Structure 1
């Protein structure tokens, strides 16, 4: 068994999870509330489930979307091992709720912070706040920006295009630039993990703006990795496939099927978003979707969390410029 210990680093992870546009559903408000994104910051010492002992002590992470689905899985993975979080959200109550539900750190407490990373002025405030919390630049930055405003190319509005590109791609650029610049200037080891999507590789006819934004994240990550390869900064992207989550509290008439895939029977239409907090559909549609995945099932948030831990630790110290697919073989 490979034994690895990461030095006492200050880790900052910024993730922005998928916010879904559910205009086609009569229960839009209910679902939107359940899928509301959150992000926060974390410090941690933990034993990874990757099969190696990985210690990340004195670790800080930014996280949006930490209250549900994939974000919750990653936040919990870190927080349960002593992580201290600054939970950041556009909505104060959302950030506060996340802080309250996470395991308490051994020292200090989880702190909420309000920010919209699509705007440089707010990213600067976030950076200043983080700098006051810790004296050195972050060792890990995870950008997981993602909103969906679905439309085919002939029907898409400029507003739909701009909104998705601004959050998903511009936000990733702004956060990467400001934190990487500080790491390079101080020669601080840093791993930047940009969450893209398998759709960024495969494309999606009804999701042109989202596919373009996630393709951009992949290209941006490779280009930035090349530019910074001789510095202390590594840059990689992570491409999740279809991810299922048990974050179905408050939704009635649910049952567990197909390798922990939840079917929410009050909805008749399918939502199969790559890198989505959760998936709802009929049994038949869900089964058909799973059959398209070579491994025959949806992924679990914890499986994405393990991939993030790998790229965050020195287990991946010789890895930069890669696009790691965690999609059950989808797209190969």
Structure 2
């Protein structure tokens, strides 16, 4: 069992998830990473933590993971619901199978993990923190990623619902809406000079964000410094949400 508070980060083997884990480890959390990639074990070891293979679209697998963590390490005090997929495609030919797959991971998985973590926090009297990874696309639509946009809009509202439901237990639930962040998901844009120029034209700060810049906000929302913040979506987007023109 860990003598430190435990933080579980889904999609934690790389990118924003791993950067969030780094920031939380520096704040004194014992790190548990969940991912579908085998590399999650090595990623967790670098932070002195534990890795779990888990498909966040599989409800039974999510519950089994929480059971194992609680039995072997202890109850989760901070949950970061970061795992997600985009599955781009043409709107008129977008398959229902792809739509359901994206929502299964990006929205249903967030609900299941939040509910499961919340139950244990309540049972154990843990005044915990839950951070959901939403997106700028919760509010700004891109037609090539219909399911992703829908799922992230759902995460924004689910965050508010969970925050209200858990507030009486002093469990806080917030979301982060990243803009263009320099991760694997942005690799295609980075490799295309014209696409990169377009992306930066709608980002007032004129550069992509880094995974660690998101991770630092995650750590803030899991800390006592944000003790009076719940139900909010914080957009870490270089100013994009406020922009109504491109240059």
TM range (shorter): 0.7 to 0.9
Q: Where does residue 87 of structure 1 map in the other structure?
A: 33
Measure, in 2, the Cα distance between the counterparts of 1:70 and 1:306: 10
Measure, in 1, the Cα distance between the counterparts of 2:187 and 2:72: 29
By relative contact order (CA 8 Å, sep 6+), the higher-ranking structure is: 2
Distance 1:66 1:89, change over 3 A: closer
Tell me, which stretches of 5 or more residues in structure 2 are unaligned? 243-247
Measure, in 2, the Cα distance between the counterparts of 1:81 and 1:233: 18
Q: Does 1:124 align with 2:63?
A: yes
Q: Aligned match of 1:175 in 113, 118, 134?
A: 113
Is contact 1:234–1:320 with CA below 8 Å preserved after alignment?
Answer: yes
Tell me, which stretches of 5 or more residues in structure 1 are unaligned? 1-9, 11-42, 44-56, 248-272
TM-score of the aligned structures, taking structure 1 as reference length: 0.67
Q: Deviations over 1:16-65 (max 9, x none)?
A: xxxxxxxxxxxxxxxxxxxxxxxxxxx8xxxxxxxxxxxxx813222343
Measure, in 2, the Cα distance between the counterparts of 1:81 and 1:236: 18
Is contact 2:23–2:219 with CA below 8 Å preserved after alignment?
Answer: no
Is contact 1:221–1:321 with CA below 8 Å preserved after alignment?
Answer: yes
Q: Does 1:286 align with 2:196?
A: yes
Residue 83 of structure 1 and its aligned partner are, at CA, apart by 5.1
Is contact 1:195–1:239 with CA below 8 Å preserved after alignment?
Answer: yes
Q: Where does residue 313 of structure 1 map in the other structure?
A: 223
Q: Where does residue 67 of structure 1 map in the other structure?
A: 13
Q: Where does residue 147 of structure 2 map in the other structure?
A: 209
Distance 1:122 1:308, change over 3 A: same
Paired residues, number:
242
Q: Does 1:195 align with 2:133?
A: yes
Q: Which has the higher helix share?
A: 2
Distance 1:83 1:221, change over 3 A: closer
TM-score of the aligned structures, taking structure 2 as reference length: 0.88
Residue 231 of structure 1 and its aligned partner are, at CA, apart by 1.9
Distance 1:312 1:161, change over 3 A: same
Residue 82 of structure 1 and its aligned partner are, at CA, apart by 6.1
Residue 232 of structure 1 and its aligned partner are, at CA, apart by 2.1
Q: Does 1:111 align with 2:32?
A: no
- What do you get for the CA RMSD once the two structures are aligned? 2.3
Measure, in 1, the Cα distance between the counterparts of 2:177 and 2:117: 22
Q: Deviations over 1:132-164 (max 9, x none)?
A: 1344x3221111131011123311111110000
Q: Where does residue 32 of structure 1 map in the other structure?
A: none
Residue 209 of structure 1 and its aligned partner are, at CA, apart by 0.5
Q: Where does residue 303 of structure 1 map in the other structure?
A: 213
Is contact 1:165–1:210 with CA below 8 Å preserved after alignment?
Answer: yes
Measure, in 2, the Cα distance between the counterparts of 1:314 and 1:66: 23
Q: Where does residue 5 of structure 1 map in the other structure?
A: none
